[in-house]
Structure 1
Amino acid sequence: MSEAEGTVKLERDGKKLIIEIDRKDKMNGFTPMMFDGISKAFQELEDDPDLWVGLLFFAGEHTTAGLDLPKFFGPNAHVDEESDKDSNDRPDAFALRRICSKPIVMAVQGITYTVGIEMMLAADIVVASEDCRFCQLEPKRGLAVFGGAHVRYIQRAGWGNAMYHLMRADEFDASRALEIGFVQEVVSVGSQIARATELADEICQCSPIALQEIKRAAKVYLQEGEEKAFAEIDRMRQVTLSSEDAKEGMQSFIEKRKPSFEGK
């Protein structure tokens, strides 16, 4: 991936996969190659049992100004059809097709527009800097929302709040995002990545088997409703109680020490 098209940098830190998206000279405007790189990163996270959590953030002062529209819709736009076909089989950062089974923590800052919001709402935990500015501005460009905002806004904020922002394509700040459940913490400018890292480290203190079962069953609730989600309890019980992690959890309780989980 060329720097002009943006880069997706990966770093392993213990049980974390750190994913940094960098096209800061263009306010992290998204290109097709960036989408492909993020998709591959999520596949790596999903496939590696030694990786328990993804930590996602953007380089520079801003999350993203949204799509670099000419790269997608201009006369010279080019999307690699083979790569696009392959990406359909991978977990994606927008959770539109295949949901990543592992926890995703995301940090956002500054301008966080369109696809930045949609990616954020598909994450599990979001830390925002207090200078964040959010806007789902597609309708002001003659476009509908293509990354799931029509669903995610309603899930998080309810119909009225969702339409209040989607129908106006207005800009709102970090305190409003916290109020309607779009982000979970608002922190001082420059500390959002450090705080997101702390949260990812906390997640790594838990059994990955337990957390993946919780996330999977919670998604069943969103997609299929309460009855189906309650029916998942038996499976969660069987999967977790038969794990080595559960045995370690019980033993550590008896011995009054911190557990040392292995994801088995």
Structure 2
Amino acid sequence: MTRRRVSLVRDGHVLSIGLDRPEKRNAADLQMLRELSLAYGELDRDPDLRVAVLHAHGDHFTAGLDLADVAPAVTETGLDIVPEGGLHPWQVTGRDLTKPVVMAVRGTCLTLGVELALASDIVIAGTSARFGQIEVSRAILPFGGATIRLPRRVGWGDAMRWMLTGDLFDAEEAHRIGLVQEVLDDDRVDARALELAHRIAAQAPLAVQVTLANAHRAVRDGDAAAEAELQPQLVRLLASEDAAIGHQAFLDRTTAEFVGR
């Protein structure tokens, strides 16, 4: 029986999703990509889950695609990695993920790993992290969204510097250009990502999801489209059970326990 490539651990309202092929530096074969897609689908569907931590087992986040396994599966219409019930983990096609993802990176993080960072909402990197969008050195292009998101995230010049050369860059450079938000010692990375995830999970879930969705709308459809939704969404949130809970907690000077309704 083939061992799973992606581990799933629930911790309250947080789902920890772990790339689990350390003997291959977590190189992603079709099985891993499809299991990752299903994990994102589970996160999105389950009302009890509010946020995910994406991490990797072993010393390295990912060495990129296992091209020997993946390349033969590419057809004229592309690569199908989303089974029924899954969501595309790079968010380049299909429905948007409605819940936040915090990503923890150590060691090598190549190609699809960078694109997972770009599709995540907060990225924490260890000092050992080395990033690389190296597709041009393999005679392919970044097809998981880096050509779209990296220039937007870090600026045109820095994006082209790293995508067109295929050079590797370290965690400090990733932090400088805005790909990652914090750089810590390797042994603190997973705990910090989990800490942030629990901090997000403690907030009002509907408010978190609407905030995330509105930011995505602005990026995808422009400022005017996002602005048009602000007041209607505010009215909707103010009518929620969580708004009443938050207001009462403010009056009582206690910590709100939100229910997601």
TM-based fold match above 0.5:
yes
Q: In the superposition, relative to structure 1, how do residues 70 and 170 fare at CA in structure 2: closer, same or farther (>3 Å)?
A: same
1:84 deviates by 3.6
Q: Of 25, 28, 31, which aligns to 1:30?
A: 28
Once the two structures are superposed, residues 2-61 of structure 1 have per-residue CA deviations (whole angstroms, 9 ceiling, x without a partner) of: 23xx51111111001111110000010000111110111111111111110111101000
2:185 paired with 1:215: no
What code does the residue aligned with 1:34 have?
Answer: M
Compute the displacement of 1:168 (Å): 1.1
Alpha-carbon contact 1:10-1:18 (below 8 Å) kept: yes
> Residue 71 of structure 1 contacts residue 78 of structure 1 at CA under 8 Å; is this kept in 2?
no
User: Match for residue 226 of structure 1?
Assistant: 223
RMSD: 1.9
Q: Identity, % of aligned pairs?
A: 40
Secondary structure of the residue aligned to 2:124 is strand
Match of 1:2 in 2: 2
Match status 1:96 vs 2:92 = yes
Distance 2:260 2:51 in 1: 12
- Alpha-carbon distance in structure 1 between the residues aligned to 2:236 and 2:66: 44
CA distance in 2, matches of 1:178, 1:119: 16
CA distance in 1, matches of 2:32, 2:74: 13
- Shift in Å, 1:89: 6.6
Q: 1:18 maps to what in 2?
A: 16
Q: TM-score, normalised by structure 2?
A: 0.94
Counterpart position of 1:190: 187
Q: Which runs of 5+ in 1 are unaligned?
A: none
**1:75-133: per-residue Cα shift (whole Å, max 9, x none)?**
xx699x9x947537732211112221001111011000000000111000111001110
Asked if residue 123 in structure 1 is aligned to residue 120 in structure 2, the reply is: yes
Query: Partner of 1:87: helix, strand, or coil?
Result: coil
Contact 1:54–1:105 (CA under 8 A) maintained in structure 2: yes
Which residue does the alignment assign to 1:50? 48
- Matched length: 258
* Stretches of structure 2 lacking an aligned partner (at least 5 in a row): none
TM-score (norm 1): 0.93
Alignment of 1:38-187 (within 5 A): 38-73=36-71, 84=80, 87=83, 90-97=86-93, 98-187=95-184
Query: 1:42 and 1:223 mapped to 2: Cα distance?
Result: 20
